[in-house]
Amino acid sequence: MKIVAACALAIAAAVTAFSTAGPPAILFTDVTTAAGIRFHHDSGRAGKKWLPETMGSGASFVDLDGDGWPDILLINSRPWQPHSRKSLCALYRNNHNGTFTDITRGSGLDVEMYGMGVAVADYDNDGRPDVYITALDGDHLFHNEGQGKFRDVTKVAGISNMSFGSSAAWLDYDRDGKADLFVANYVQWTAQGDLRCSLDGVTKSYCTPESYKGNSVRLFHNLGGGKFADVAVKAGLGDPSSKSLGVAVLDYNGDGWPDLFVSNDTERNKLYRNNHDGTFTEEGIPAGVAYGEDGVARGAMGVDSSDYDRSGREHLLVGNFSNQMLGLYHNEGGNLFVDEAPRSTVGRSSLLSLAFGVFFFDYDLDGHPDIFAANGHIDEEIGRVQPKIQYKQPPLLFRNLGNGKFEDTSKQVGPAFERPIVARGAAYADFDRDGDLDVLITTNDGPAYLFRNDGGNRNHWLTLRLEGVKSNRSALGAVVILDSASGKQSQTVHSGSSYCSQSDLALTFGLGKDEIVKSLEIRWPSGQVDRRANVKANQFLNLREGQL
């Protein structure tokens, strides 16, 4: 009888524990191999310690064939000397069943280059998103011909960027209905002008960007008819002191015109306000985003923007070098930002990491954008001179608690996220269309990783893919304001962000326990405002300008 009683008590205790426990944990599961992703970035490193070897590579989630399922494009570099086997970018078509098929060969994207970053948008409004790839040996613009085929139109489009291209972003900066192109350039480097640097005073190491001169960004204005003109100087963006690695397109002052935040490595960051006349004014210093809290320029890499606190204003997230922590610039209004990271968990947990790809996304769909950072150092020997800093570093994940605070949940989402890697690019999308957002990471001179979100869709959600008519076809700059029982949220369709990468252009809103969206408003770049009421949760909607 005592044994039976003890068993009964044990069962009762287990039932009580189960019933009082919180919801099952959300896991990010490494499904790279199972999904058919077999990609290895080739940095070309061969012992010479050339600076570009540390920087690649980028990645993109993009629905290239218009079937509503995000495909994957991974950017590759190449050996410095001709090799019998070509190192190519990789294009993977989504098979709608959790797997992908490599369709690179014969796609037109199978061009060997020393690639860095990628940005995707429909620049000619023909309904098919086009691809821009930055590369050390000259950038490429590929026109989407349909059926998985692309044509290199760089020269005929009038685009020329032979600089050290890094991140890029499409935007309609003059709101004329055509997507323009912004390109961030890093430093002036050539193999012939490579410098010798050393961490320990003996062996050669990779030089920091202070050793090299800067580079101006590029702004290619879309003239229509497949033609572009470089207007960077005319627009007020021509600054040869820049050493740019990231760009975020945001409307930080809420005037309806796209502005630009450009992250610079060891030079001050730039914040360009759109003057509505084809020009920009740089306001990084008065806005408080140019330097770290100590007044020194940081080693800034990737960047993203989001209204993470439902204030109606877009804030900034910046990935920085090790011993500098992430930058989390809160938009106070009045053209002023305050870095919240130094006094938050975000700053403390990221101090020893070197963050490249960073972004906001709502991984648990509770309606509050969370923070992701892909980390990895540039020199494999760093541990010898800085024992606390590791070459391979695990990613960081910060859950938004909804009160302006974040908690570090990096070690709560499964062992796959605890694995140290040398991460660079990072992007997100709902690749399996189950409602929650999955993560794609590239590594330098290593594999790409696809992490499936398992459990995030226990909350409600709504995914919107927008199509412009009077506005640019990709709906870049369109703002969606959503109101449900738990309050208002807003998101903007934007290209670029992260580092050398781009996430899916579809917008996913977490709704928590809300089953109905009371009102949905879309403010298009053309000035058109569309509204819809009483939208049910847990669905994918394709919304065309003027046809809600």
Reduced 3-state DSSP string for 376-435: ECCCCCHHHHCCCCCCEECCEEEEECCCCCEEECHHHCCHHHHCCECEEEEEEECCCCCC
Residue type, 403: N
Across 39-50, average pLDDT: 94
Task: Measure the CA–CA gap between 498 and 501, rounded to whole angstroms.
Answer: 6
**Residue-level pLDDT at 24:** 60
Q: How confident is the model at residue 6 (pLDDT cuts 50, 70, 90)?
A: very low
Query: What is the spatial distance between Cα 329 and Cα 492, in angstroms, rounded to a whole number?
Result: 18
Instruction: Kindly list the distances between the CA atom of residue 169 and the CA atoms of 105, 304, 428, in Å, as whole numbers in the listed order.
Output: 26, 12, 16
In which residue are the tokens 């005592």 written? 2
8 Å CB contact between 187 and 213: yes
C-alpha–C-alpha distance, residues 440 and 450, integer Å: 5
pLDDT > 80? residue 77? yes
Q: Tell me which of 264-268, 302-306, 350-354, 402-406 is least confident.
A: 402-406
d(CA 35, CA 439): 13
Phi and psi angles of residue 424, each rounded to the nearest 5 degrees, phi first: -135, -85
Confidence band, pLDDT 50/70/90 cuts, at residue 46: confident
Structure-derived torsion over alpha carbons of residues 402, 404, 405, 411, reported in degrees to the nearest 10? 60
What pLDDT score was predicted for residue 85? 78
At residue 139, does pLDDT exceed 80?
yes
Report the chain's mean pLDDT, rounded to a whole number.
Answer: 94
CA distance 320 to 266: 10
Q: Please name which of 236, 125, 135 lies closest in space to residue 170, comparing C-alpha atoms.
A: 125
The three-point CA angle 180-186-188 to 5° equals: 120
> Which residues, at least 6 apart from 33, have a Cβ–Cβ distance to it below 8 Å?
none
Q: Which of 529, 480, 528 is nearest to 506 (CA)?
A: 480
Residue 425 CA neighbour count, 13 Å, CB half: 37
pTM score, two decimals?
0.94
Where on the phi/psi map is residue 309: left (φ > 0), alpha (ψ -120 to 50), or beta? alpha
Amino acid in the structure at residue 433? R
In the predicted structure, residue 62 carries a pLDDT above the cut 60: yes
Tell me, what's the pLDDT at 19?
33
Beta-bridged to residue 426, according to DSSP, are 441
- The residue among 302, 260, 287 whose CA lies nearest residue 499 is 302
DSSP E strand stretches across 225-346? 227-230, 244-250, 259-264, 270-274, 280-282, 303-306, 315-318, 327-333, 336-339
pLDDT at position 293: 86
How many C-beta atoms surround the C-beta of residue 79 within 10 A?
17
pLDDT score, position 322: 96
Q: Which residues does 162 contact at the CB level (< 8 Å), separation at least 6? A: 137, 138, 139
* DSSP H or E run through 474: none
Q: Which of 20-24, 94-98, 334-338 has the lowest mean pLDDT?
A: 20-24
Q: Which residue has the tokens 């490595």?
A: 265
Region 519-524 average pLDDT: 98
| pLDDT score recorded for residue 409 | 97
Q: Is residue 219 within 8 Å of 211, Cβ to Cβ?
A: no
Sign, CA dihedral 122-126-128-132, equals negative
Per-residue model confidence (pLDDT) at position 12? 39
Which pLDDT does position 5 carry in this prediction? 41
Residues 503-521: what's their mean pLDDT?
Answer: 98
What is the average pLDDT across 297-306? Answer: 98
Contact 101, 92 (CB under 8 A): yes
Q: Which range is least confidently modeled, 6-20, 156-170, 185-199, 202-216? A: 6-20
d(CA 312, CA 330): 12
Number of residues that this document lists for the chain: 548
Helix (H, G, I), strand (E, B) or coil at 476: coil
Query: Would you say residue 22 has pLDDT above 80?
Result: no
Does position 161 have pLDDT exceeding 80, yes or no? Answer: yes
3-state SS, residue 346: helix
3 pLDDT more than 80:
no
* pLDDT tens for each residue of 303-334: 999 999 999 999 999 999 999 999 999 999 99
Q: Is the pLDDT of residue 20 over 60?
A: no
Which of left, alpha, beta for 338 (phi over 0: left; psi -120 to 50: alpha)? beta
Q: Please give the Cα distance from 544 to 464 (Å, whole number).
A: 10
What's the mean pLDDT in 489-507? 98
Query: What angle (nearest 5°) sits at the alpha carbon of residue 44, between those of residues 38 and 49?
Result: 135
Band of pLDDT at residue 174, cut at 50, 70 and 90? very high
Tokens representing residue 44 in the block = 């070309």
The pLDDT confidence band at residue 201, using thresholds 50, 70 and 90, is confident
d(CA 482, CA 491): 9
Mean pLDDT throughout 265-293? 97
- On whether the CB atoms of residues 511 and 435 are closer than 8 A, the answer is no
Phi, psi of 479 (to 5 degrees): -110, 130
> What are the backbone dihedrals phi and psi of residue 492, each rounded to the nearest 5 degrees, phi first?
-120, 135
- Burial class of residue 462 (count of CB atoms within 10 Å of its CB; 0-12, 13-18, 19+): buried
